[in-house]
Amino acid sequence: MKRRALLVAKRATFLAAIAGVFVLMALAVLVREVVTLATSGSETADATPVIAAEVADEPFADIITAVGTAHANESVAVTSKISDTISRINFDSGDFVQGGQVLAELVDAEEAASLNAARATLTEARRERDRAAELAQRGVAPAQRRDEAESEFQRAAAQVTAIEARMADRIIRAPFAGVVGLRNISAGELIDTGTVIATLNDVRIIKLDFALPERFLATVQAGQRVDARASAYPGEIFNGRITNIDNQVDRVSRAVTVRAEIPNTDGRLVPGMLLSVEVRRDERERPAIPESALMRMAEQAYVFVLEPAEDEGLHIARRRDIEPGLRAQGRVEILNGLEAGETVIADGTHRTRDGGPVRISEMRPPRPAAPESEPAPEAESAPSAQPSPETEPATGTLPEPFELPAGETPEEALADDEAELPPPDPDPEPAAEPAAEPAPEPVTPPASAGAGG
């Protein structure tokens, strides 16, 4: 009996141990599920808010900058060939005139009288020539008399032609179509041969001359596009094409003069204006990202690319190495590593880790809108149109994004930055309001002067 009771006790103990093992296993499964649910909720709550941007193809070009001076397509200072008094003026300042149009006339009374006398002499010489020819044909007069009459007729005709040419010199005409500048003469004024009556400019096309260092001779050629900007029209771009390149390099500045032509049908550009020039070459379209999205560790540049997560509204940040190119207007050209249509983190990269969950709080457009340009303040003196020979045009350069120290993670760098920030002022003093300016006293206008004043 005792042995049987002992066996029953041992069996009960074994069954109880097995039951305890099953209970522990059930508790472990329950604890694991609870921990999984808690971890999932924590990840959702701890998702880093970021600003994202979509990668889009944008135009890029290698840009050479310079400063140039605008010239008229055709320009001339209108003068007179002779010295005399102005009798009539047929234009006013700023008028558009056609080629050959009469601008002014000089007094020609004496020349007109001489022309009448010469024409009368010519008529008499013609009659004498015809009479001598008829008599010589009938054999009444010798052939010598006929030849003398013919010579006299030719001299009279030449005299008339000479006087008519001198009369034409007293009529001043426009050599080509264009806009007349300020009128420098008045009717009745005595002018000399060097007196400038007015300037005439054909500004339908503006010739823009600018200097480039000689090292750009191999990359600049006729037909390339240029973009010009004038301080008089902020925010506007005037497009043109290179037409000519000088055949020699300046020995002092080691620069070559390049000429571009810009259409100017509206006449807003005038000769003498100083324009900033951008010569564009190797125009292309490449994927682009904001400058703030680019990170660098040591010599490697990278970005965080967003991938959809299982939870709705969340994304997973994946680090990807890229090869950046040029930088222009806050955008970075991507040579390798990204494709158009992908999404990257634009702001918040310092708080992001590879493989961590993020939440998009804002989506940036592909290219931010350019701010409105403000008019430039008036300069005290106009800068020189000739660039310094030591100044080299700026070209596209690689961006210099934020670089982490070797061996430091973004989280540690963020913590260091936050530790260095000064504590906020608990009770800032309100800013003092400016004192109100007293109203200006009314000014009594002075008494009007008399008509003879």
Q: What domain range is 408 assigned to?
A: 48-60+285-368+385-418
Residue 89 domain flag:
no
First to last CA, the chain: 152
Same domain? 326 vs 398? yes
Residue 231 domain flag:
no
Amino acid identity, position 288: A
CATH of the domain at 55: 2.40.420.20
C-alpha to C-alpha distance for 272 and 366, rounded to whole angstroms: 39
Residue 33 domain flag:
no
Residue 298 domain flag:
yes
What DSSP designation does 162 have?
Answer: H
Contact call for residues 165 and 59 (beta carbons, < 8 A): no
pTM: 0.54
Residue 431 domain flag:
no
Which residue shows structure tokens 């056609």? 98
Indicate the SS3 state at residue 416. Answer: helix
Angle at 132 between CA 126 and CA 133, to 5 degrees: 90
Tokens linked to 296: 């660098």
What is the residue-level pLDDT of the chain in tens, covering all 453 positions? 667 777 777 777 878 888 888 888 888 888 776 665 555 544 455 788 888 999 988 888 778 899 999 999 999 999 998 899 999 999 999 999 999 999 999 998 888 899 899 999 999 989 988 888 888 888 877 888 888 888 999 999 999 999 989 888 899 999 999 999 999 889 999 999 889 999 999 999 999 999 999 988 888 889 889 999 999 999 899 999 999 999 999 999 999 999 999 999 998 999 999 999 998 877 788 899 998 888 888 888 999 999 888 877 788 999 999 999 888 888 898 988 898 889 999 888 888 888 888 888 888 877 644 433 333 333 333 333 343 333 333 344 444 444 444 445 544 544 454 444 444 444 444 444 444 444 444 444 444 333 333
Same domain? 147 vs 54? no
Same domain? 54 vs 140? no
**Considering its fold, how many domains does the chain have in total?**
2
In Å, what is the CA distance from 4 to each residue of 9, 11, 18, 35, 100?
9, 11, 21, 47, 142
Q: How many residues does the chain have?
A: 453
Same domain? 116 vs 52? no
Q: What share of the chain is helix, strand, coil (3-state, %, to 5)?
A: 25, 35, 40
